[in-house]
Amino acid sequence: MKKTVFIMAFFALIWACQKEVPMELTLEQRQNIAEEIRQFQYKWLNSMEVFNNETFSVFLSGMVPGDDEVWMGNPAMWLNELTFYPNNELINESWQPEIGNRSSTIFKIEKDYVAVVSPEYAVYVAIGTFAVTDAQGNNTGDIPMSSTSVMLKKNNEWKVLHWHNSWQND
């Protein structure tokens, strides 16, 4: 009897220590996550249609905070040429001159793709254009651009963990 209990306890211990197999997402789950991310991205980019302190704060709120525990330390949230900005406060401060001189930024997404890595992580890739209008009403016209966002779902909300935007200057 002791031998049987010992063998059962041994196998129960082995079974309890097994790693949980990650759940494979169904096509429908991937499509739903992709649509959530698209809707987030459209709303996030459209927050810049009127460019002022309030809407820039809305834009920044779409990013994971610099002190969030998903970061290992406190790396830059924003890189502009050779300057790192590790938090929303410094990003906001550096953009104040631009906020005073810009009235809008209009993004037009022509094509996008979402690679769903897991229920909590995905990569969003888009191509399209953006146009900037300054405070005097001068408009750049549509500038070709591409962008990539690494997305994180935390507290049931999608946020941008990393965003890269490239554009073509003539």
Can you give the length of the chain in residues? 170
What pLDDT is stored for residue 6 in this prediction?
Answer: 47
Q: What confidence score (pLDDT) does residue 136 get? A: 95
CB contact set of 104 (below 8 Å; sequence gap of 6+): 48, 49, 50, 51, 132, 133
Distance CA 117, CA 123 (A): 8
Q: Which two tokens stand for residue 150?
A: 């690494």
DSSP state of 33: H
Lowest mean pLDDT among 98-102, 115-119, 153-157, 166-170: 166-170
The residues near 110 (Cβ < 8 Å, ≥ 6 apart) are: 126, 127, 128, 129
Name which residue leads in pLDDT, 82 or 33.
33
Of the candidates 70, 59, 68, the residue with the CA atom closest to the CA atom of residue 92: 59
SS3 of residue 15 by DSSP: helix
Q: How confident is the model at residue 16 (pLDDT cuts 50, 70, 90)?
A: low
- Cα angle 126, 123, 154; round to 5: 125
The CATH number fitting domain 26-167, selected from 3.30.60.50, 3.10.450.50, 3.30.70.80, 3.40.50.2300: 3.10.450.50
CA distance 80 to 105: 18
Termini Cα distance of the chain: 84
Give pLDDT tens digits for 43-70.
999 999 998 989 888 888 888 776 555 5
Spatial separation of the C-alpha atoms in residues 85 and 30, rounded to whole Å: 33
In degrees and rounded to multiples of 5, residue 152 shows phi and psi of -130, 130
Average per-residue pLDDT in the chain?
A: 83
Give just the sign of the alpha carbon dihedral 70, 71, 76, 79.
negative
